[in-house]
Amino acid sequence: MAFEAVDVEAGLALTGEVELADSGLLRMRHRLRNTGIGPYVVDGLHAALPVPGHARELLDLAGRWAKERRPQRRPLGTGAWVREVRRGRTGHDAPLGLFAGTEGFGFGHGEVWGLHVAWSGNHVSYAERMAEGTALLGGGELLLPGEIVLDSGEEYATPWLYAAYSGRGLDGVSSAFHGRLRSRPHHPGADRPRPVVINTWEAVYFDHDLDRLRELADRGARIGAERFVLDDGWFRHRRDDSAGLGDWYVDETVWPNGLEPLISHVRGLGMEFGLWVEPEMVNPDSDLYRAHPDWVLRRTADALPPSWRNQQVLDLANPEAYAHILERLDSLLEEYEIGYLKWDHNRDLIEAGHEGRPGVHAQTAALYRLMDELRARHPGVEIESCSSGGGRIDLEILERTDRVWASDCIDALERQSIQLWTGLLLPPELVGSHIGAAPAHTTGRVHGLGFRAATALFGHFGIEWDVSRLDERELSELAGAVSVYKELRGLLHSGDVVRADHIDPSVLLHGVVAADRSEAVFCYARTAAPDDVLPAPARLPGLDGSRRYRVSAVDPTGRPAGPERRDPAWVTEGSVTLPGAVLASAGVPVPLLAPEQAFLLRVRAVD
């Protein structure tokens, strides 16, 4: 549906577009056209939707690097709550969505209205209640002064604003977002299962050696990996993070025969090959910068923006810089059999100027054009949005990418929460989730393989670990975890995501239920020591109350579940059969877990 408005005196024409998906997800945007004879400066143009007076509470997300998407709540009182993102990318501290609801709303109860601004640059989300009692949720691009100037006949389009309503809590809002994403013709996983990934970053970092990487690939294939990703360090001058960005040629000193020997080995093992890139960035210590220092986004020609991670931002709105990066990426994809790009973006856009104006809008639009062109030339190549981990997660980047890297932190305890809240918008198949080493590289915590595997299972599963150092027992258990994922991924990547409002704040209970309610899998994760001696039962949402289900324990490493803890009788006996209504209301007893342990429940209908 579209509506139009005209201001003859100002010389402006506005077209509003509204679409409603079958899943119940609404999206809207505005197009503003200058119909006058002189230039028109656009300071801001947002879309907003009303919410009723009984929406009295707000939820959004905050965070930082390696601890993304932390929930925060507050009353929706008179006035405005405004979240601005000025980092030039979506950002680790971005709200992801803004949710208003009835007091105390949770995952499975209460009325909720949710909103998401689909834009990968600067943007704003806000909630406002007037003194008259009316309220709204809104948002759009956050434009810097002079960033958009429309000449006569030119047009500016706002980002899409996505919104959903649910009468059954946050899970209903998630269902609308997930359903719309899964209905896209290009949605990953529609034509083949999501492959098990083995990524080399935390295994070798910059220490690239063909024999060692071949061994990693051998071990990966042995345990069931299906995609091998060579991370940072393969291109010229890149022995650490201080040099080389922009020099997208294979480093001849490390790879005298190019990447083909490794790629042939990987593909000979039956795995797809993937490669890390960071095309929007440049190191001052690089051949590209020395040849074209003028290709850097900067406010003034005589001063660089503050450095971060030894790098600057390449101005993709500069046609020459854009053409160079497109040629380099296209050449790599033409020369080598690469099926996947891990596309990183490791710094904010600070003092990002283009031709004397703020350049974030132009940079974001140029990025979209670059990805679109590469996808058109190489339609079979998947792309991951990795931006210092979870720094660029939004629905517009996901129109061009096939998954996101939720966080650089693979610590399973942190990941339980990060993935839970990322899942408000994104279904599991879009969220990269890997088993890391113990101790975790970002936190130093040590978790058992069962907890790490149970956490990684609820996403697009992978391994970020030096598997060449594992003994036979560890390899067998890791192979078991891969087998469990392969058995369950059809359900995990098509079913409805559900989350329990558990009485114990030290427990996260979440799962995926098949659309026809014939089966489900749940994860009961204890994140801290409980207040009570005995754990409260696990009440399993989302099942058909009129059907009977057999519930059994599943070890995430594939081993037979045994009485290794103080297990309830049904666990040691193998299973219990109960009506769905009972499982949702009374639940089932669970083992007495220590902090930072998890327990999987497999549920199958028996009638």
Question: Which positions are catalytic?
Answer: 344, 408
Pair 432, 404: CB distance under 8 Å: yes
CA distances from 467 to 202, 220, 415 (A): 10, 7, 21
C-beta neighbour count of 75 within 10 angstroms: 11
Alpha helix positions (H), 269-409: 287-291, 319-335, 360-377
Q: How far apart are CA 450 and CA 368, in angstroms?
A: 39
DSSP state of 130: -
Residue 533, C-beta contacts closer than 8 angstroms, at least 6 positions apart: none
Q: What is the biggest distance separating any 2 CA atoms in the chain, rounded to whole angstroms? A: 81
What is the layout of strands, in order, in the sheet containing 519-526? 496-499, 507-513, 519-526, 597-605, 548-554, 576-579
Q: What is the distance, to the nearest Å, from the Cα of residue 111 to the centroid of all Cα atoms in its chain? A: 25
**Packed helices 360-377 and 319-335: angle between N→C axes, nearest 10 degrees:** 30
Return the amino acid letter for 534: L
Q: How far apart are CA 187 and CA 183, in angstroms?
A: 7
The burial class, CB within 10 Å (0-12 / 13-18 / 19+), for 164 is buried
Q: Where are the beta strands (DSSP E) in 366-456?
A: 382-385, 403-405, 431-436
CA-closest candidate to residue 246, choices 328, 177, 191? 328
Q: Which two tokens stand for residue 549?
A: 């289900």
Pair 399, 432: CB distance under 8 Å: no
- The three-class DSSP label of residue 134 is coil
Instruction: Give me the residue label for tokens 């970002």.
Output: 442
